[in-house]
Structure 1
Amino acid sequence: MEALFIFILKSSGLLATFYFAYIFLLRKETFFNSSRWFLLAGLITSVVLPFVVYTKVIWVNPTPVSAPAVIETIAVSDTAVPNHYNAVYVPQPVEEESFEINWNIITILIYSIGFAAFMIKFGLDFYSLNSVLKGRKIQQQEDFKFIDVNENIAPFSYFDYIVYNSSLYTAAELENILEHEKVHSDQKHTIDVLITRIFCILFWFNPIIWLYKKAILQNLEFIADSEASKKITDKKAYQYTLLKITTHDTCVAITNHFYQSLIKKRIVMLNKNQSRKRNYWKYYAVIPALGAFVLLFQIKTIAQEKKQNTAVVQKDTVKELVTITKNTTDKELDDLKGKLKTNHNVDFQVSDVKRNSKEELTGIQIQVKSESGKKQVVSMNGSNGIKDCTFAIGTDNKGAATISVEGLKPPTPPIPPVNAERAVVVRNFDEDGIAPVAPIAPAAPAFPAGPMPTPVDMSRIPKAPIAPKNINDKAAWSKFEKDIAEFEKKMQAIEPELSAYGEKVEAVMAEREAIFEKQMEKYEIAMQKFNIDMDKYSKDIQLKYGPDSKEYQQNMKQYEKDMKQYDFDMKQHAKDMKQYEKDMKQHEKDMKEWEKENRKS
C-alpha cells in the first residue's frame, strides 16, 4: 500500500510539473500541435517515469566485534537452504491489541467506488453516442462520414464521423462548422479525448488530472480553430459562428464537439499573431525538472557490508597448521586430539562422523577450545566428500595459544542453487566474555512543515465581459471587443504575480522534498544496517545460549519492540506524506479558483 501511495504521489508531481509548465509558459503560444504532443507526453511520463529506478550501492564497514573473535561455523547440506532472518526466531505469543481501523481497506473501498462510478459513466456515454449514431443515414465524402440529425445538439466529431443539424445554421455557418470538425477527425483528436478520459477514470481522486484534461481539450479546439481559419476567407464570420453555437447546451461526451467553454479565449487565440520560433525553448524547460525528479526520487540506495577477514591468528604467529580432508581416517582424528592437547593445550572433540561407500568423510562436527577460552564449532554435512578444513594454531597478543579456521568463507546473501556443495555461515563470540549487545533501531525523520506562500487575492482578478446576445448588434459587439481587449490588458498586468506565486509554492515544496528525501535516504541506509546487525546479534544469541534460553527470549521481545517502533515510524511517515498532499491540494484549489474566476462570462 505504501508503494502505491508513493507512486501516486510521484505521478501527481510529474503531472503538476507538465501542467504548470503549460499554463505558465506555453498556454499563450500558438504552437498548438507541439503543445498537443507535450501534454500527451506528460501523461505517459507520469505513469512510466516512477518505475524507472537507478540503484546505487553504498559499502559500509562491518560491525566491529568488541570481544576476541572466535569462529563458529555451521554447515548446510546439499539440498538445504541457509537460514534467513525470519527462520532464526521462534514465534512468540503476543498480547491481544485493541481494535484498529484498517485504513488500507477503507482507502481501497473508496477508490473502488469512485472507479466503478466513473466506469459506469463512461459506459453510459458510449451508449449515448451509439444512440446518436445508430440507424442514421450516412453520407460518405472522402474520408469523412457525415450524419445530419434532427436533434438540437452541438455539432461534434468522433473519429471519421461528423454529426450536425443542418437546419440550425445557414450555409456559410455550416461550412465553417464542418471545416472545424474535419480538422478534429483528420488529426484523430478523438484518441486524445479517450486517453484523457481513461486517465481521469484511473486517477479520479487527483484534481490535477481534471485540470490537465481541460487543458488538452482546450488545446485541441485551438488546433481546429487555427487550421479551419486557414481555409475560411471570412475569419470574422467564423467568430460569429462560435458565438452562435454557445446557445446549444446539449453535447455528446467522449467526442470533439464544436463548442467548448471559454469561447473568448478561442477568439483571442484566433486573432493572435504567430509566436516566434525562438520561443520553442519553453518546451525544453521541463527537462531540468525531470532530471531533478530522477536524482531526488528515482535513485535507490542499497547498503552492503564489506567483507572482512575472519581469521584471528596472524601469519607471523602461526605455530602449526592442522588440515582435515575427506580422506582423513578415524585413527588420524584420534591422534590429532592427543597431539593438540599435548603440544598446545587445545581441546579437540569430534562427533557426528559420516562416511560414504568410498570411506570419504561426508559429515563431521568438530569442537575446538583453546587455552585462552575461545571456542570453535565446525559442522559440515553433505552427500559428497567434505572440503578441506585447516586449523591455524598460534598465539594472541598476550602470548596465549589461540586457534582459527582457515579456508572457510561466510556465505553471500543469495540462496545457493540445488546440488551446491555446501553453504557456510560464520559467527563470532567469546565463550566466557560479555554477551553480544543488541543494536538500536534508528528513528524515522518527519516531513518538514511550515507555512505556504500567501496566494494572490482573487478579488483583484477582473471579471470577463459578457458577449452580447444579439450577434447582429454591431455597436454592442464593438463594445464587447473593446472590453475583451481591456480585460486581457488587466490580466496581463496581474499574471506576473500569479506566476510568482506558483514559483514560490514550487520552490518551497521542492526545498522540503529535497531535505526530507535526504533524511529518508539516510534512514533507509540505517535501517538496512540495523537489520544486518540484528540478524547477526540474534544468531549469536542463539548459538551461545540456545533457542530455549532466557537470553534468547529477551532478544525476541526486544526485536518485537523494535519492529513495533519501526511500524510506528512508518505510520508517522505516511501521515507526513498526507499532510504534504493536503498542501498540494490546497495549492491546486487556489489555482482552480483562479481559473473559475477567469472563465466567468
Structure 2
Amino acid sequence: MEAFFIYIAKSTGLIAMFYFAYYFLLRKETFFNSSRWFLLAGLLTSVLLPFVVYTQIVWIDPAPVADTVFHYNNNPAYLPQTFEPQSFRIDWNMVSLAVYIIGFAAFMLKFAIDFYSLNSVLKGKTIEQQADFKFIDINENIAPFSYFDYIVYNSSMYTQAELESILEHEKVHSDQYHTIDVLISRVFCILFWFNPVIWLYKKAILQNLEFIADSEASKKIADKKVYQYTLLKITTHENCVAITNHFYQSLIKKRIVMLNKNQSKNSNYWKYTAIIPALGAFILLFQMETIAQEKKQSQKEIVEKQTKSQDVYKINSSTTDQELSAIVKNLKTNHNVDVVISEVKRNSKNELINILVEIQKGSGEAQTIQIEGNNAIKECSIIITTENDGSKKINLITEGQPDEPEALQNDMEIVSSPPNVPNSITPPNPPAPPVFPQGPMPQVPVSAYANMPKPPVPPANPNDKAAVKKYDKEMAEFEKKMENYEPDMASFEKEIEEIMEKRSAIFDKEMEKYEIAMEKYNADMEKFGQDMEQKFGSDSEYSKNMKKYEIEMRKYENQMRQQEKQMRQQEIKMKEVEKQRIQYQKEVLKKQKEENRRS
C-alpha cells in the first residue's frame, strides 16, 4: 500500500517537472515536432523512472547479539514490552485508496462513453477511400475531426476553399498518428485524475498537435489568410467528439499567432536539455537506495565475542570457617567484590545450619541471602560472570534453582523454622515448596552454523547485466544450501519447546498440590494456634513467636507465587530478545540511510 502511494507521488512529481519545463521554456518556441516528443517522453519517464533504483552498499559492524540474562533485582537486562489495547483508528491509507479507485472508475466510465459516442458517429456511414485516408461526409453539426485514418466532416457547412483547408489540416493529424498522443494523454488523465497538472499537460499536448497540423497544412495552402479565416469560422462549432483530433479548438488566437510567428533560432534547442539536471537531482534524492551489509567475521572473532568467563564459589553444610574466609579473600582479590559472611551457626555435627551472606560491588545495591533453621543448609553459590567488555555480574543462587541466567530474586527471604514448642507439643509441619524441574538441555547445533555457506555479495553496479545474472545464480544456490540447515534448527526448537512444556506441566501439577497442602497447613496452624492460646494464653512468648512465624509463612507463600509468575514470564522475555535484535538491525539501517541523505 505504502509503495503504491510513493510510486504515485513520484510519477506526479515527474509529470509536474516536465510540464513546467515546457510551459516556461518551450511553449513559445516553434519547434512543434520536438515539443511533441518532449511531452510524450515526459509521460513515459514519469511511469518508468520510479522503478529505476540505484543501490549503494554500506558496510556496518555486525549487530551485537543480546545476552538473555534476566535479573529481577532492580537491574533488568530486558523488560517485556507492554501492549496497550488499540482504540478505533481510521486507516487513512485505505480511505485514500478508496477515493482514488472511485475517481478512477468514474473517469474510466467517461472514457467508455466517449468511445461509444465516437462509434455512433462512424457506424453506418459511407466511407470514401482516398490513398491512406478514409473520408466520411456526415450531416450532423459536428466540428471536423480525424481518428487514425478516418477524417470526418460536414461538406455542406463549408465552401470549397474552406473544406480544402480543413482536409489538409486533418490529413496532417492522420498521417502523423496524432490520435495516439490524444489517447495516451487521456489514459494519463484517468490514472492521475487527482493531479491538476495532468489536465494542463493534456491541454498542452493537444494544443501542440494543433500547432503541428496548422504549420504543415499552411505550407500546402497558397493563401494563409484563407486558412486563418477558416479557423475563425470553425470557432462557431461547439459540438466536438472526444478522444479525436478535431479542427475546432478554443485557443484559436494562439494558433493564429503561432502561424504568423517567425521560426525559432536553432540555438534555442538547448532548452530541451534543461530537464536533464532536474532528472539527475530526482534520482539522487529519491532513487538512491542504501543497503547495509554486515562485515564478514572469522570464526575466531565470533568465538572470542561469544566467550565470557564465570567463577563459582559454593557454600554447603560442610564448608569450614577457613574456606569461608578464603572465599571472601578471593572475591576481593580477583573481582574487587566485598563479601561479608556472618551469623554462622553449626549443629553438633559441625554442619552449617545458619548463615548470612552480604555482597557489595562498588556503589551498586547490596545483595543478600540468609539461610537459617535447625537442619543443615543446602548448597548455595556466588556466581561472578565477567563479560567481554570487562563488566561483572553477580548472582546468588541456592540449590534447586537454575544457575545462570535464570537467577531468582537475590533478596528473597528464607523462612526460619517454627519456634520450639513447650512440653514437646508437635506443631503441624509446613509442606515443602516445589522446585521447577531442572536437567540437561539440548545443545545448539553450533557445528551447523560453522559450516553454513556465506551469502553472495551483490554487484556494485546494478546495470551490469552479466554481474546481476551471476549474482542471481549464486543467490539461488545459497538459498538451496540454506534449506539443508532448516530441518536441524526446526528440530532443535521443537525439542526445546517439548522439554519446557513437559517441565512446566510437572511444575504446574506440583504447584497445585503445594497450594492445596498450604491451605490444609494454614487451617492446621490456625487450629494449633487456638489450642496453644487456650493452654498457654495469648500473651505468652510462644504465642508471639507463632504469630511472627505465621506472618513469615504467608510472606514466603507470596514469594513462591511470585517466583512462579516470574518463571512463566521467562518464555515471553526470551522471545522479546529476538524481536529487539531484529529491531536493532532495522534502526542501524535506517540511521545509515539518513546519514547518507544528509551527506
Instruction: Identify the residue that residue 314 of structure 2 maps to in structure 1.
Output: none
CA distance in 1, matches of 2:58, 2:103: 43
Query: How many Å apart are 1:96 and its aligned residue?
Result: 3.1
Check conservation: 1:160, 1:185, Cα contact below 8 A.
yes
CA distance in 1, matches of 2:209, 2:243: 13
Instruction: Identify the residue that residue 549 of structure 1 maps to in structure 2.
Output: 570
Q: What are the superposed Cα offsets for residues 564-594 of structure 1, whole Å, 9 maximum, x if unpaired?
A: x99xx9xxx9xxxxxxxxxxxxxxxxxxxxx
1:227 aligns with 2:291: no
Instruction: Identify the residue that residue 20 of structure 2 maps to in structure 1.
Output: 20
Counterpart residue type for residue 552 of structure 1: K
Query: How many Å apart are 1:118 and its aligned residue?
Result: 0.7
Q: What are the superposed Cα offsets for residues 476-521 of structure 1, whole Å, 9 maximum, x if unpaired?
A: xxxxxxxxxxxxxxxxxxxxxxxxxxxxxxxxxxxxxxxxxxxxxx
CA pair 249-137 structure 1, distance change in 2 beyond 3 A: same
Instruction: Identify the residue that residue 277 of structure 2 maps to in structure 1.
Output: 288
CA pair 97-182 structure 1, distance change in 2 beyond 3 A: same
CA pair 151-93 structure 1, distance change in 2 beyond 3 A: same
Instruction: Identify the residue that residue 189 of structure 1 maps to in structure 2.
Output: 178
Q: Secondary structure at the match of 1:214?
A: helix
CA distance in 2, matches of 1:418, 1:310: 19
CA distance in 2, matches of 1:205, 1:59: 42
CA distance in 1, matches of 2:302, 2:147: 82
Instruction: Identify the residue that residue 156 of structure 2 maps to in structure 1.
Output: 167
Query: How many Å apart are 1:104 and its aligned residue?
Result: 2.1
Query: How many Å apart are 1:271 and its aligned residue?
Result: 0.1
CA pair 309-243 structure 1, distance change in 2 beyond 3 A: same
1:208 aligns with 2:197: yes
Query: How many Å apart are 1:422 and its aligned residue?
Result: 4.1
CA distance in 2, matches of 1:212, 1:224: 19
Q: Secondary structure at the match of 2:55?
A: strand
Query: How many Å apart are 1:294 and its aligned residue?
Result: 0.9
CA pair 172-308 structure 1, distance change in 2 beyond 3 A: same
Q: What are the superposed Cα offsets for residues 311-363 of structure 1, whole Å, 9 maximum, x if unpaired?
A: 47999xxxxxxxxxxxxxxxxxxxxxxxxxxxxxxxxxxxxxxxxxxxxxxxx
Name which structure has the greater RCO, CA cutoff 8 Å, separation 6+: 1
Instruction: Identify the residue that residue 134 of structure 2 maps to in structure 1.
Output: 145
CA pair 93-30 structure 1, distance change in 2 beyond 3 A: same
CA distance in 2, matches of 1:34, 1:41: 10
Query: How many Å apart are 1:62 and its aligned residue?
Result: 3.4
CA pair 253-547 structure 1, distance change in 2 beyond 3 A: farther
CA pair 248-557 structure 1, distance change in 2 beyond 3 A: same
Map residues 372-391 of structure 1 onto 2, 5 A cutoff. 379=443
Counterpart residue type for residue 480 of structure 2: P
Q: Secondary structure at the match of 1:379?
A: coil
Q: What are the superposed Cα offsets for residues 155-207 of structure 1, whole Å, 9 maximum, x if unpaired?
A: 00001111111111111011101100000010010010011111111111111
CA pair 371-45 structure 1, distance change in 2 beyond 3 A: same
Tell me the number of residue pairs that the alignment of Structure 1 and Structure 2 aligns. Answer: 353
CA distance in 1, matches of 2:125, 2:172: 22
CA pair 372-558 structure 1, distance change in 2 beyond 3 A: closer
CA distance in 2, matches of 1:24, 1:36: 16
Instruction: Identify the residue that residue 417 of structure 1 maps to in structure 2.
Output: 480
Instruction: Identify the residue that residue 32 of structure 1 maps to in structure 2.
Output: 32
Q: Secondary structure at the match of 2:139?
A: coil
Q: What are the superposed Cα offsets for residues 200-236 of structure 1, whole Å, 9 maximum, x if unpaired?
A: 1111111111110000000000000000000001101
Query: How many Å apart are 1:408 and its aligned residue?
Result: 6.7
Map residues 300-449 of structure 1 onto 2, 5 A cutoff. 300-309=289-298, 311=300, 379=443, 416-417=479-480, 422=485
Q: Secondary structure at the match of 1:97?
A: coil
Instruction: Identify the residue that residue 266 of structure 2 maps to in structure 1.
Output: 277
Q: Secondary structure at the match of 1:549?
A: helix
CA pair 147-116 structure 1, distance change in 2 beyond 3 A: same
1:97 aligns with 2:86: yes
Q: Secondary structure at the match of 2:187?
A: helix
Instruction: Identify the residue that residue 123 of structure 1 maps to in structure 2.
Output: 112
CA distance in 1, matches of 2:138, 2:443: 88
CA pair 92-236 structure 1, distance change in 2 beyond 3 A: same
CA distance in 2, matches of 1:97, 1:372: 41
Query: How many Å apart are 1:260 and its aligned residue?
Result: 1.1
Q: Secondary structure at the match of 2:129?
A: strand
Check conservation: 2:127, 2:135, Cα contact below 8 A.
yes
CA pair 65-314 structure 1, distance change in 2 beyond 3 A: closer
CA distance in 2, matches of 1:556, 1:548: 13
CA pair 296-62 structure 1, distance change in 2 beyond 3 A: same
CA pair 29-293 structure 1, distance change in 2 beyond 3 A: same
CA distance in 2, matches of 1:296, 1:312: 38
Check conservation: 2:148, 2:177, Cα contact below 8 A.
yes
Check conservation: 1:156, 1:162, Cα contact below 8 A.
yes
Counterpart residue type for residue 256 of structure 1: N
Check conservation: 1:58, 1:304, Cα contact below 8 A.
yes
Instruction: Identify the residue that residue 53 of structure 2 maps to in structure 1.
Output: 53
Map residues 515-526 of structure 1 onto 2, 5 A cutoff. none
Query: How many Å apart are 1:557 and its aligned residue?
Result: 12
Q: What are the superposed Cα offsets for residues 45-90 of structure 1, whole Å, 9 maximum, x if unpaired?
A: 00000000011011122356899x99xxxxxxxxxxxxxxxxxx9x
Counterpart residue type for residue 379 of structure 1: Q
Check conservation: 1:203, 1:209, Cα contact below 8 A.
yes
Counterpart residue type for residue 573 of structure 2: Y
Counterpart residue type for residue 246 of structure 2: H
Map residues 455-494 of structure 1 onto 2, 5 A cutoff. none
Instruction: Identify the residue that residue 114 of structure 1 maps to in structure 2.
Output: 103
Counterpart residue type for residue 38 of structure 1: F
Q: Secondary structure at the match of 1:417?
A: helix
Check conservation: 2:146, 2:152, Cα contact below 8 A.
yes
TM-score (norm 2): 0.52
CA pair 110-373 structure 1, distance change in 2 beyond 3 A: closer
Q: Secondary structure at the match of 2:443?
A: strand
CA distance in 2, matches of 1:18, 1:262: 22
Check conservation: 2:452, 2:482, Cα contact below 8 A.
no
CA distance in 2, matches of 1:109, 1:66: 44
Check conservation: 1:156, 1:257, Cα contact below 8 A.
yes
Q: Secondary structure at the match of 2:57?
A: strand
Counterpart residue type for residue 129 of structure 2: Q
Q: Secondary structure at the match of 1:304?
A: strand
CA distance in 1, matches of 2:177, 2:146: 10
CA pair 7-254 structure 1, distance change in 2 beyond 3 A: same
Q: Secondary structure at the match of 1:96?
A: coil
Task: Choose 1 or 2 for highest CA Rg.
Answer: 2
Check conservation: 1:546, 1:552, Cα contact below 8 A.
no
Q: What are the superposed Cα offsets for residues 127-164 of structure 1, whole Å, 9 maximum, x if unpaired?
A: 11111111111111111111111111100000111111
CA RMSD, 1 decimal: 4.2
CA distance in 2, matches of 1:64, 1:419: 22
CA distance in 2, matches of 1:154, 1:274: 29
CA pair 53-215 structure 1, distance change in 2 beyond 3 A: same
Query: How many Å apart are 1:269 and its aligned residue?
Result: 0.3
Identity over the aligned pairs, expressed in percent? Answer: 66
- Aligned match for 1:265, one of 254, 269, 277: 254
> Please, which runs of 5 or more residues in structure 2 have no aligned partner?
70-77, 305-382, 388-403, 406-440, 457-474, 490-565, 595-599
Map residues 491-506 of structure 1 onto 2, 5 A cutoff. none
CA pair 547-205 structure 1, distance change in 2 beyond 3 A: farther
Query: How many Å apart are 1:550 and its aligned residue?
Result: 7.6
CA distance in 1, matches of 2:166, 2:301: 89
